[in-house]
Amino acid sequence: MAEPIVLAERKGFWIEERLLRQAQLGERFQVVVDPGEIRILPERTVTATLPYGATEDEARTVLAEVRAEVTALYGGQAPPPDQPYFGDLTWREYQALSEEQRRVLWDRIYADFNLEIETVEERDVRPDTLVAG
């Protein structure tokens, strides 16, 4: 566990070079300022965040489209929070679960479908099958 280090204030906050090196952030990094916190991240972490190298604008557009699609499927309004959602839980109940509790819930339900290797049914592929590679 890393020890907390209190930074000195000298015309703003001053972070010694050795500390930046110790953090192994690489040569380039980004400073992200949010309410209540300032994060210094390796540049690769920031740029690798979105799949397919999508830009923030592209991401916003896709999320807006997804929201429109799901809203339309629900008839133009959010589904009631007390409607069944997953694993015998309503959305309200599911949303109240911690990340760990959600993982455990999915694992428990998945266990019913996680067949023993020896009982798995194998299929033949075509002679002209396209092999990944």
Partner 1 sequence: MSGQIRLLLDKNVVRRYFEGVSALARGLAPTEEEQQAILLVHLARGKGQRLFIPVEISNLLQAHRHQIAPAEMLMFLKRVDVLHPSRYFKRWARRLRERTFTREDAKVLTLGTFGTDEAGRILGAHVVVTYDRPVIRKWEQERAKVAEHLLAMTSNLGSMHYGQAP
Residue 29 or 91: which CB sits closer to partner 1?
91
71 is an interface residue for partner 1 by CB under 8 A = yes
List residues bridging with 14 in a β-sheet. Answer: 8
List residues bridging with 33 in a β-sheet. Answer: 38
Region near partner 1 per CB under 8 A, out of 14-22, 24-32, 34-42, 66-74: 66-74
19 is an interface residue for partner 1 by CB under 8 A = no
User: Residue 101's closest CA among 93, 84, 113?
Assistant: 93
113 is an interface residue for partner 1 by CB under 8 A = yes
Min separation Cβ 36 and partner 1, Å: 17
Q: How far, in Å, CA of 40 to CA of 29, rounded? A: 7
Distances (CA, A) of 11 to 20, 33, 38, 89: 18, 17, 16, 53
User: Residue 74's closest CA among 66, 99, 105?
Assistant: 66
The residue from 17, 34, 57, 118 that contacts partner 1 (CB under 8 A) is: 118
Q: What is the distance of C-alpha 46 from the center of its chain?
A: 13
104 is an interface residue for partner 1 by CB under 8 A = no
Size of interface with partner 1, in residues (CB under 8 A): 51
**Interaction site with partner 1 (CB under 8 A):** 49-52, 54, 58-59, 62-63, 65-67, 69-71, 73-74, 78-79, 81, 84-88, 91, 102-103, 106, 109-110, 112-118, 120-126, 128-133
